[in-house]
Amino acid sequence: MTNPLLDLSGLPRFAEIQPDHVAPAIDTLLDEARAAVRHAEQLDPVSWETFINPLDDAIEKLSRAWGAVGHLHAVINTPALREAYNARLSAVSEFYASLGQNLALFRQYKRLADSAEYASYSPTRKKVIANALRDFRLGGAELDDAAKQRFSAIKAELATLAARFEQNLLDATDAYSLDVTDEATLAGLPDYTLAACRAAAEKAGIAGYRFSLQMPIYLAVQTYADNRNLRAQLYRAYHTRAAEFGPADWDNTGLIEKILALRAEMAQLLGFASYAAYSVEAKMADSPETVLGFLRDLASRALPHARKDRSALEAFARDELGIVDLQAWDLAYASEKLKQARYSFSEQEVKQYFTEPKVLAGLFGVIESLYGLRAEPDQAPVWHPDVRFYKLVDAQNQLVGQFYLDLYAREGKRGGAWMDDARNRRVRPQGTQTPVTYLTCNFGAGMGGKPATFSHDEVITLFHEMGHGLHLLLTQVDEYDVAGLNGVEWDAVELPSQFMENFCWEWDRVQAMTAHVDSGEPLPRALWDKMLAAKHYQAGMGTVRQLEFGLFDMILHHQRPEGVSVLNVLEQIRDEVAVNRPPEWNRFPNLFSHIFAGGYAAGYYSYKWAEVLSADAYAAFEEAPEAAAETGRRFWREVLARGGSRPAMENFRAFRGREPRIDALLRHSGMAG
Kindly list the distances between the CA atom of residue 293 and the CA atoms of 29, 129, 239, 285, 670, in Å, as whole numbers in the listed order. Answer: 45, 32, 30, 11, 22
| pLDDT score recorded for residue 143 | 94
Query: Quick count: other Cβ atoms within 10 Å of Cβ 353?
Result: 26
- How many C-beta atoms lie closer than 10 Å to residue 322's C-beta? 8
Mean of pLDDT values over 545-561: 96
Q: Is this prediction's pTM over 0.85?
A: yes
The order of strands in the sheet holding 388-393 is 374-377, 388-393, 399-408, 436-443, 418-423
Residue 553 CA to residue 13 CA, distance in Å, equals 38
pLDDT at 66: 97
pLDDT at 114 over 70: yes
Class of domain 250-345+538-604: mainly alpha
Closest CA to 549 of 608, 509, 491, 486: 608
Contact 639, 655 (CB under 8 A): yes
Question: What is the spatial distance between Cα 112 and Cα 401, in angstroms, rounded to a whole number?
Answer: 32
Q: Does the pLDDT of residue 134 top 90, yes or no?
A: yes
Q: How far apart are CA 216 and CA 193, in angstroms?
A: 8
Residue-wise pLDDT for 571-615, tens only, equals: 999 999 999 999 999 999 999 999 999 889 999 999 999 999 999
Where exactly does CATH 1.10.1370.40 map onto the chain? 356-529
Instruction: Tell me how far apart the alpha carbons of residues 153 and 512 are, in angstroms, rounded to a whole number.
Output: 53
pLDDT in tens, 300-345: 999 999 999 999 999 999 999 999 999 999 999 999 999 999 999 9
Closest CA to 593 of 542, 547, 549: 549
**Measured distance CA(511)–CA(507) in Å, rounded:** 6
pLDDT, one tens digit per residue, over 613-641 is 999 999 999 999 999 999 999 999 999 99
Active site residues: 465
Query: Whose CA is closest to 549, among 611, 612, 601?
Result: 601
Q: Where along the chain do the CATH 1.20.1050.40 domains lie?
A: 4-142
- Confidence band (pLDDT; 50, 70, 90) for 1? low
Provide the pLDDT for residue 492.
94
Task: Please name which of 425, 422, 459 lies closest in space to residue 439, comparing C-alpha atoms.
Answer: 422
Q: Whole-angstrom Cα distance, residue 59 to residue 140? A: 19
Span 193-216, mean pLDDT? 96
582: cis peptide before it, omega within 30°?
no
CATH of span 356-529: 1.10.1370.40
| Residues 439/466, Cβ–Cβ less than 8 Å | yes
657 by DSSP, 3-state: which? coil
Contact predicate 75/115, CB 8 Å: no
Distance CA 36, CA 479 (A): 18
- Distance (Å, whole) CA 91 – CA 495: 33
pLDDT at 191: 93
Residue-level length of the chain: 673
Q: Are 445 and 452 in contact (CB under 8 A)?
A: yes
| Beta carbons of 435 and 423 less than 8 angstroms apart | yes
* Interval 9-29 mean pLDDT: 96
- How is 99-130 classified by DSSP, letter by letter? HHH-HHHHHHHHHHHHSGGGGGS-HHHHHHHH
What average pLDDT is seen over the chain?
96
The predicted pLDDT at position 306 comes to 97
CA angle 237-238-242, nearest 5°?
Answer: 90
Select from 414, 408, 410, 404 the least CA-distant residue to 439.
404
Q: What is the per-residue pLDDT for 428? A: 86
294: region left, alpha or beta (phi > 0 left; psi from -120 to 50 alpha): alpha
3-state secondary structure 446-481: CCCCCCCECCHHHHHHHHHHHHHHHHHHCCCCCCHH
pLDDT, tens only, 644-661: 999 999 999 999 999 999
Q: Residue 245, Cβ neighbours under 10 Å: how many?
A: 15
Q: How far apart are the first and last CA of the chain?
A: 64
Chain segment 352-411, per-residue pLDDT in tens: 999 999 999 999 999 999 999 999 999 999 999 999 999 999 999 999 999 999 999 999
Contacts of 568 (CB under 8 A, 6+ apart): none
C-alpha to C-alpha distance for 191 and 204, rounded to whole angstroms: 20
Identify the pLDDT of residue 673.
64
Give the residues across from 540 on adjacent strands. none
Burial tier of 673 (Cβ tally within 10 Å: 0-12, 13-18, 19+): exposed
Distance CA 484, CA 332 (A): 37
Tens of pLDDT, residue by residue over 435-490, are: 999 999 999 999 889 999 999 999 999 999 999 999 999 999 999 999 999 999 99
Note whether 154 and 267 are within 8 A (CB).
no
Question: What's the whole-number mean pLDDT along residues 507-526?
Answer: 96
Please say if the pLDDT value at position 505 is more than 80.
yes
Question: CB of 556 within 8 A of CB of 267?
Answer: no
Sign, Cα dihedral of 514, 518, 519, 523: negative
Residue 106 contacts by C-beta under 8 Å, 6 or more apart in sequence?
133, 136, 141, 142
Which class does domain 4-142 fall in? Answer: mainly alpha
Closest CA to 598 of 248, 79, 40, 169: 169
CB distance 553 to 607 below 8 Å: no
CB 429 within 8 A of CB 333: no
pLDDT at 20 over 70: yes
Rounded Cα–Cα distance for residues 605 and 291 (Å): 7
- Per DSSP, the residues of 25-48 read HHHHHHHHHHHHHHHHHH-SS--I
580: which residues sit within 8 A by CB, 6+ positions away? 310, 328, 331, 541, 545
Q: Residue 601 burial by CB count (10 A; 0-12/13-18/19+): exposed, middle or buried?
A: buried
Query: What percentage of residues in the chain have a pLDDT greater than 90?
Result: 97
Q: Where in the chain is the domain with CATH 1.10.1370.10?
A: 250-345+538-604
